[in-house]
Amino acid sequence: MLAVVCPGQGSQTPGMLAPWLELPGVPDQIAAFSDAAGLDLAAHGTTSDADTIRDTAVAQPLIVASSLLAWRVILDGGALAGRDAAEVVDVTAGHSVGEVAAAAVAGVLDDVGAVGLVTRRAQAMAKAAAAAPSGMSAVVGGDPAEVLAAIEAAGLWPANVNGAGQTVAGGALEHLSTLALNPPARARVIPLQVAGAFHTPFMDAAREEFEQVTAQWPANDPRITFLADLDGQPHGTGAETLARLAGQVTAPVRWDLVMDGLAARGVTAVLELAPGGVLTGLAKRALKGVELLAVKSPDDVEAARDLIARHSTAVPNGVDA
């Protein structure tokens, strides 16, 4: 059984689109994505530096575009040529902004629509982050209950509960300093280079703005099982999915529950789309015995097709409730 997962913010690296743009058809795809985003994604994915692509308003559409470019290349050759995602994917999910890319994999959005929608999300979140200084820190190791208690005691929120011994705290900068000075036992606190406290109440204004966008955005019902970051359970209708994506702007990312959901369904392989690496790293520790592949460049495409061929059990419209 095959899961396709899509990475979140922080997975981007300078020049990550350069090798993809050498493939036939990809320049036209990225041009369409750039139009939808109102950004030159080709330039941001090839020549922009790390500071430029760290900007939330740039990073989010760039990451979603990268995931979907890689996915379409994988589906455009070999035995998969001409096949629909619903014929080869058993379950999908995405980490934070990666949920928008996963929504396209699941058929809720088309690719251009996904890039357009995530651009609106990114703009709202960047605006909210600029309104009040805030940030995030990873807490690695420690007893999970003690980590959550320490985060709360410092006046922070658990923005990401990633499983595999990793939790991300978000909130005011002075409270993050308090946590760093008083870390949980056997845990390290690592400041993250992000613009704000995503998935916390600091994003309330962004959630309200994005809710208005998603309420009007065209959406289809998922054609494959699409697990939600909110609780690890399958998304509902297309409209319900977009409403939950809006709510997820301030809600914690429960990637631990997503991985539990993958395990409960008997997933035997996880394919992480570009710019891959983070989610397969978490799965390596949490999903023992599951075959993992992170797509980082076109060099990984044939291996991705082989993984799909060996693990997919999908049937069209194979959505569980």
User: 228: which 2 tokens?
Assistant: 């939600």
CA distances (Å), 71 to each of 13, 29, 43, 61, 206, in order? 18, 12, 20, 15, 29
* Annotated catalytic residue, options 48, 66, 67, 96: 96
E strand segments, 20-173: 91-94, 135-141, 157-163, 166-171
Q: In a 10 Å sphere around its CB, with 0-12 CB exposed, 13-18 middle and 19+ buried, how is residue 83 labelled? A: middle
* Annotated catalytic residue, options 44, 95, 175, 199: 199
> What is the C-alpha to C-alpha distance for residues 127 and 21, in angstroms, rounded to an integer?
31
- The amino acid at residue 320 is D
Task: Assess contact for 67 and 7: CB atoms under 8 A.
Answer: yes
> Would you call 96 a catalytic residue per the annotation?
yes
Q: In a 10 Å sphere around its CB, with 0-12 CB exposed, 13-18 middle and 19+ buried, how is residue 264 labelled? A: exposed
Task: Assess contact for 111 and 75: CB atoms under 8 A.
Answer: no
> What is the C-alpha to C-alpha distance for residues 285 and 274, in angstroms, rounded to an integer?
20
> Would you call 66 a catalytic residue per the annotation?
no
> Which secondary-structure segment (H or E) carries 270?
strand 269-272
Which residues are known to be catalytic? Answer: 96, 199
